[in-house]
Chain A
Amino acid sequence: MRGEGALLIEYADLECPYCARANILLNDLPVRRIFRHFPVVSKHPRARLLAHAAEAAALQDRFWPMHDSLMDDQGRLEDPHLWERCRTLGLDLDRFEADRRTAAVAERVERDFRSGVRAGVMTTPTLFFDGRAHPGVPDAHLLARLAGLA
């Protein structure tokens, strides 16, 4: 969770270019963002692995920095790039490597994914705001509402 303001729950996939675009649009809005993983592996082969990496970073209080790092630079998602990101973000690399392979981290991601399925999420990103689902990259109307302007 980050930010202050109205609650926004986002289901996203860290290997999804539409999610990366949505992240840029949401970054400076006055909303309280809750991120939930919705990795679609048949579409994005590294999505689940990246979700695990972000949760491993979360265990060192670096979820959002890792999230932003992955979202802002989607061309480099292989393991050596992850290690480089860890160094940049000041993560303990050995701990990261161990944590991202644990059952607890996998279960956390799976729990998010299943909660998305139950909520009817079928595409990423899907934003939940004001009690309803908004599938896809937020449009100008939704962004204005999120900004408190409409």
Chain B
Amino acid sequence: MIAPGSPAPHFTLSDQDGNEVSLESLRGRTSVLVFYPLDFSPICTDQLNVYQEVLGDLEEQGAGLYGVSVDSAFAHKAFRERLGLTFPLLADFNPKGEVARRYGVYIEDRGHSRRALVMIGPDLEVNWSHEAPSPLEIPGANLIFDALAAR
């Protein structure tokens, strides 16, 4: 997966409402891309629910959170409403998984991304990245706070 110190690979993806979010639009603040396998799968649900609970703390520390999966914007919209999420979910839908591939977290034979976190600094350089050892393991929100503290 993408290593700290690398320039963040470019992307332009649609969020759940059809608005485009590009790498360039993240310039000037710290952002965390949360790559997860699939909307509505049980583990992803737990992961995003807990991130939602700490979203206020993350924002206080100047970090924005973006979920990324291969699902479509429409699926993201339904998933987000079901979970009560307030951070954007980006659709890495067409070409499928292209952004996950650029960040080195795509699993070709499964057709979805690994569970991975990528912190992008205000200068659009990768500050930190973490990949779960298996898709069944959820990266704790503590890892994001530790990475923010280490900036």
**Total interface residues in chain A, CB < 8 Å:** 13
Write out the residue numbers on chain A whose beta carbons fall within 8 Å of the beta carbon of B85. 42
A40–B85 Cα gap in the complex (Å)? Answer: 12
Q: Quick check: A121 and B53 within 8 Å, CB to CB? A: no
Complex CA distance for A89 and B30, rounded to whole angstroms: 50
Which size class do B's interface residues fall under?
Answer: 10 to 19
Decide yes or no: A117 and B141 within 8 Å by CB, A42-B84, A42-B85, A43-B83 being known contacts: yes
Query: What DSSP secondary structure best describes chain A's contact surface?
Result: loop
A40 to chain B, nearest CB (A): 5
- Among A113-150, those with CB < 8 Å from B are 113, 117-123, 135
Contact with A along B20-46 (1 / 0, CB 8 A): 000000000000000000000001011
Rounded to whole Å, the gap between the CB of A21 and the closest CB of chain B is 15
**Contact residues in A for B138 (Cβ distance below 8 Å):** 122-123, 135
Structural contact, B83 and A119, CB atoms closer than 8 A: no
The reply to whether A42 and B49 contact each other, CB–CB distance below 8 Å, is yes
Q: Can you list 10 A-B contacts with CB-CB less than 8 angstroms, sorted by A residue number? A: A40-B53, A42-B52, A42-B84, A43-B83, A117-B54, A117-B140, A120-B140, A120-B141, A122-B50, A122-B139
B45: nearest residue on chain A (CB-CB)?
A43
Q: A113-B53, A122-B140 are in contact. List 9 more A-B contacts (CB 8 A).
A: A43-B45, A117-B140, A120-B141, A120-B142, A121-B140, A122-B47, A122-B50, A122-B139, A123-B43
Q: Tell me whether A117 and B83 are in contact in the complex, defined as CB-CB below 8 angstroms, given that A43-B45, A43-B49 are known contacts.
A: no
Residues of A within 8 A of B45 (CB): 43
A123 and B53: CB pair below 8 A?
no
Provide the residues of chain A in CB contact with B52, threshold 8 Å.
42
